[in-house]
Amino acid sequence: MKTITQTDFRFPKQTGKYVGKVRDVYTVDNKYLTMIVTDRISAFDVVLPKGIPYKGQVLNQIASKFLDATADIVPNWKIASPDPVVTVGHRCDPFPVEMIVRGYLTGSSWRAYKAGARSICGVTLPDGMREHQRFDSPIITPTTKAEQGEHDEDISRKDIIAKGLVSEEDYCRLEKYALALFQRGSEMAAAQGLILVDTKYEFGKKDGVVYLIDEIHTPDSSRYFYADTYEKAFAQGNQQRQLSKEFVREWLMDNGFQGKAGQKIPAMTNEVVADISERYIELYEKITGETFVKADFTDDIYTRIETNTENMLARLL
């Protein structure tokens, strides 16, 4: 099972490279970014030892579709996607926070609530809520944007502004954009029989203008439930059918790993890797309503990426 787990390109006028958990980001001419979405997969802020076939293509193509579909709400960094795993766009100065929008009490928010928390990132929650319960209206629970190798930390709106991480004026813009994007994403998900449960957005600034950056509404940044089974499962107290990366976290937790010191990542068998790949492709087809077409994965995959990207950059430089 071939995967793209690392890259080492030298593009014309390249001025920098950043290796994230999943993406390799090349800065070109200090004005543009070439983002290559690899097949690496992370959970609990740890990159797992094996790549997932076609995961990079799935993430890149979903993000590209949603960036195009939300460009009327907020400007975004994308200029073009010249290759199935590549997006080229504007270089922005990122805000040091991630805007997490939650429509349901699920995942880490449920784990915190179950442990007794009634305030998450400054948002007060009532007693008596149940797992997967819908909020009356979506809530925003921001996190700091961690440096590589560190964990994101929950933070409140009040503390973000008090610490000068984001000005109050800009933060109000980020909240407005995040909720509007979540509404659009929810509408698009509903059209495909899905519920957008929660997601994260990242923003940056260029020439004084706020831009949406990075990915949007992908299974790495978002969680989806199947709409047709939600009510029955919730009424019966059963787990929801969902499309997200949460199943990877659950598999790791079931095998004794939560990213804590001293814990060992469980063995990733070929069966586990293939199952994760199939789940990502399922999400692509379900959320887009399109058949996933696997890109050619030949021995010269890196030549393909380099050629397609350089042809795009030649039009910009």
Name the residue with tokens 């999400």.
283
DSSP, res 243: E
CB 146 within 8 A of CB 165: no
Fold type of domain 94-244 = D-amino Acid Aminotransferase; Chain A, domain 1 (3.30.470)
Tokens 């994965």, residue located: 297
Question: Per-residue confidence at 283, pLDDT binned at 50, 70, 90?
Answer: confident
Number of other residues whose CB lies within 10 A of the CB of residue 311: 11
Q: Higher pLDDT residue, 152 or 219?
A: 219
pLDDT score of 146 more than 90: no
Span 1-15, pLDDT tens digits: 689 999 999 999 999
* Residue 150: predicted pLDDT: 56
pLDDT digits (tens, 9 = 90+) for 55-108: 999 999 999 999 999 999 999 999 999 999 999 999 999 999 999 999 999 989
Per the CB < 8 A criterion, the answer to whether 160 and 166 are in contact is yes
Two tokens at 126? 């009532």
Within 13 A of 80's CA, how many CA atoms are on the CB side? 11
Direct distance between the N- and C-terminal alpha carbons of the chain, in angstroms, rounded to an integer: 36
pLDDT in tens, 14-68: 999 999 999 999 999 999 999 999 999 999 889 999 999 999 999 999 999 999 9
How far apart are alpha carbons 197 and 180 in whole angstroms?
Answer: 15
Mean pLDDT of 163-174: 97
Structure tokens at 177: 């954009």
Tokens of residue 107, six digits: 């995942």
Domains 14-92+270-316 and 94-244 fall in the same CATH topology: no
Six-digit token string for 34: 């070439």
Domain 14-92+270-316: what homologous superfamily? Phosphorylase Kinase; domain 1 (3.30.200.20)
Domain boundaries, the chain: 14-92+270-316, 94-244
Sign of CA dihedral 278, 282, 288, 294: positive
- Contact call for residues 170 and 94 (beta carbons, < 8 A): no
Q: Which two tokens stand for residue 118?
A: 């009634």
d(CA 21, CA 151): 12
114 vs 177: CA distance, rounded Å: 30
- Residue 184 contacts residue 216 (beta carbons within 8 Å): no
pLDDT band at 245 (very low <50, low <70, confident <90, very high): confident
222, β-bridge pairs: 199
pLDDT of residue 300: 86
Q: How many CA atoms lie within 13 A of 165 on its CB side?
A: 23
Residue 149 pLDDT greater than 60, yes or no: no
Beta strands in the chain (DSSP E): 14-19, 23-28, 32-37, 42-43, 46-47, 78-83, 86-90, 93-94, 97-104, 119-120, 123-124, 134-140, 143-144, 194-206, 209-213, 222-226, 242-244
Rg (CA), the chain: 19
Q: What is the mean pLDDT of the chain?
A: 94
